Amino acid sequence: MRPQRFGNLILIGMFFAGSFLYFDLHYRYWYHFMEQFGLFLYTNSYFLEFCREPGGMNEYLNEALMQFFYLPHVASVCLASLLGLITVSAHLFFRRCGYLLSALWSILPCFLFWIYPPETVAIPLSMLTGILAVVGYTYSPRNNWRYAYAAGILVTCYLLATPAHFLAAILLSFYEFKSASKSKYMAVTIYIGGSMLLPLIAMRTLFVVPMEEAFFSKYLYHPEYPQPGSFRLFWLVFPLVTTLSVLLQKWQPKVGHKLVISFVILTGGIIAGIVYGGNALEQTYRYDYYARNSQWQKIVDHAEQQAVNDQNALIYVNLALSHTNQLSNKQFDFRQAGVDGLIPKDPVTRVDLITASEVAWQIGHINSSQRYAFVGVLSSERRVQPRLMKRLVETYLVNEEYKAAEKYITILEASLFYRDWANEKRQYLNRETAGKTPWIVQKRAVNVTTDNPFDPAKALPNALAYLLDDHPGNKAAIEYTMAYVLLYKDLGAFMQYMQTAKGFYKTLPVHYQEAICLFYAAVQPDPEAFKTFKIDKAVYDRFIGFCNAAGNSQELLKKQFGNTYYYYAQFENMPNQEQL
């Protein structure tokens, strides 16, 4: 094997390995999250639906691949493989055009996917389709039949993977321009013009779709989700690199120097990407992954090791503390953000709707949990969201709306990774079976029975108060209520709710004991009343130690007492309060 070819294979192999590490280290949980916004169904009607749209087969394959993002590391392998195939195909195209530059020229455009990671694999799949089709064209006989083949390529790319036909037309033009054919200018004009006319012809003959969908397919264009600027960069980058290849084709350094330079640049790029790259919300997506798998303790463990740096991540931490019965003992181990750290405010985004539904489900506000889930399904780009569809099934079963539950169970049964869950839930469509199922009985026992006009995401304290009026034994609701009043330093309201809360515990939680100490020391001194609460000696001694050390610097006090409620009450700013 010639040194240059072997060196190019090494470069491509390095890029594949670097891509896997980059996406797995920085975007693993984000792609787990994005898997929830597609649902590949093993039905004939689902396949036929994609056949009726331009670019439908590209999206069908995209959904088929993305269903496996449910599994660990699959997204990273899939993206690295697609980028590797794009690199190989582009390098082969450059070689067929006579551009003898190294494989680095084919790799550099793919770094754009590192800078702007795609939400799905639809764009790299479409690009790969266009480049592969043109590579096949370069092997066709140099006669007039190749024009028919080119026309077939453009039509096929449009129908199967639009807008791949635009990329194919531009690359076909570059290839023809390199030829000695006298008709190359006419061919270039026909290829570019034909690619622009194809969507217009199709929307008047084959498809009844808006112009934007005819040009880009409804799966890459959505009126409620505007295309980012990076979308056009993805399609322009290879034509730009090809243009540079034409301009620089006379600059051909020796093979050894060229490979050394390529190795240095690629190694530096991979290291820089892995070291300095990252997703600001990766912690939230990690916690979302743990939450959907009911791994609540993993959220707590991770938050104890790494600072919580995002509001949605904090919501998941507090929710995990509630699920693991630690909210009243560890709430102030983490920096809080008022009510916004308990539930999203007026949720509209993907993450907010999921977290709001999770919190409402936990505190027993079943109808609100259902509403957030329903809005999340309808507002998703593809009108499916299996995570929230599962929640809809659960809320419908709790509310005894069995026909509605059956609808979503039937849909989920046609998928691969949600089939077993749906099959297990089908038995609860029987009223008697549902009425004997512990988790359904438990949720029905705390569900609202009177008219509760308050949305937890807009008026959490009022919604909680109504829940407790209906069911004073709702432990999750009382703990969220106590968490709220402690956050806003309302010790009077805390002591009122304490009469209900203390019935849940043999030993009062640490933060409750700390708040009681503070109340009777600073708000309402009453030694006799204080004695009615069983305060642990260690908690009391630590509170006395805090009082004695009050003259020390805040930094020193934080090191000693930073996870206590009285430190929070003394030093942390109180967020804007909603009336209880």
Please write the tens of the pLDDT for every residue from 369-411.
999 999 999 988 777 899 999 999 999 999 999 999 999 999 9
Q: CB-hemisphere CA count at 13 Å for 404?
A: 15
Non-local (6+) Cβ contacts of 74 within 8 A are 68
Q: What are the tokens at 395?
A: 């809320």
Residues 313 and 283 sit within 8 Å (Cβ to Cβ): yes
Terminal-residue alpha carbon distance, the chain: 77
Which of left, alpha, beta for 35 (phi over 0: left; psi -120 to 50: alpha)?
A: alpha
Q: How far is the C-alpha of 361 from the C-alpha of 427, rounded, in Å?
A: 21
Report CA-CA distances (Å) from 45 to 40, 41, 58, 519.
12, 9, 17, 65
DSSP 301: H
Find the length of the chain: 580
Cα angle, residue 78 at apex, residues 95 and 18 outer, rounded to 5°: 65
Q: How far is the C-alpha of 102 from the C-alpha of 300, rounded, in Å?
A: 48
Q: What are the tokens at 464?
A: 């909680």
Non-local (6+) Cβ contacts of 48 within 8 A are none
Q: What are the tokens at 336?
A: 């809080």
Q: How far is the C-alpha of 501 from the C-alpha of 482, rounded, in Å?
A: 8
Helix ranges (H only) for 364-418 are 366-379, 386-398, 402-413
Q: How far is the C-alpha of 237 from the C-alpha of 536, rounded, in Å?
A: 67
The pLDDT, as a whole number, for residue 232 is 80
Q: How far is the C-alpha of 249 from the C-alpha of 158, rounded, in Å?
A: 31
| CA–centroid distance for 129 within its chain | 26
Q: What is the mean pLDDT of each run of 10 residues along the chain (580 residues)?
A: 76 96 96 94 93 92 96 96 96 85 88 92 95 93 83 94 93 82 80 92 86 82 62 84 75 58 92 89 95 96 93 96 96 93 93 96 95 93 89 97 97 96 97 96 91 87 92 95 95 94 93 96 91 93 92 90 93 63
Task: Provide the whole-model pTM.
Answer: 0.91
- The three-state secondary structure class of 227 is coil
Residues 102 and 259 sit within 8 Å (Cβ to Cβ): yes
Return the bridge partners of 225, or none. Answer: 222
Residues 468 and 375 sit within 8 Å (Cβ to Cβ): no
- The DSSP code sequence of 127-191 is HHHHHHHHHHHHTS-SSTHHHHHHHHHHHHHHHHHTTHHHHHHHHHHHHHHHS--TTHHHHHHHH
The pLDDT, as a whole number, for residue 254 is 47
Q: What are the tokens at 199?
A: 């969507």
Non-local (6+) Cβ contacts of 540 within 8 A are 513, 517
- The three-state secondary structure class of 415 is coil
Which of left, alpha, beta for 91 (phi over 0: left; psi -120 to 50: alpha)?
A: alpha
The pLDDT, as a whole number, for residue 187 is 83
The pLDDT, as a whole number, for residue 580 is 39
Q: What are the tokens at 14?
A: 């390095």
The pLDDT, as a whole number, for residue 221 is 60
- The three-state secondary structure class of 228 is coil
Q: How far is the C-alpha of 394 from the C-alpha of 86, rounded, in Å?
A: 43
Which of left, alpha, beta for 228 (phi over 0: left; psi -120 to 50: alpha)?
A: beta
Place of tokens 């092997």: 139
Q: How far is the C-alpha of 424 from the C-alpha of 412, rounded, in Å?
A: 11
* Maximum separation of any 2 CA atoms in the chain, in Å: 105
Is the preceding peptide bond at 163 cis, omega within 30 degrees of 0?
Answer: yes
| 91 class by beta-carbon count within 10 Å (0-12 exposed, 13-18 middle, 19+ buried) | buried
| pLDDT tens readout for residues 142-197 | 777 888 899 999 999 999 999 999 999 999 988 888 776 677 788 888 899 999 99
- The three-state secondary structure class of 42 is coil
Q: How far is the C-alpha of 192 from the C-alpha of 556, rounded, in Å?
A: 70
Residues 16 and 80 sit within 8 Å (Cβ to Cβ): yes
- Which of 145, 159, 146 minimizes the C-alpha distance to 201? 159
The pLDDT, as a whole number, for residue 96 is 87
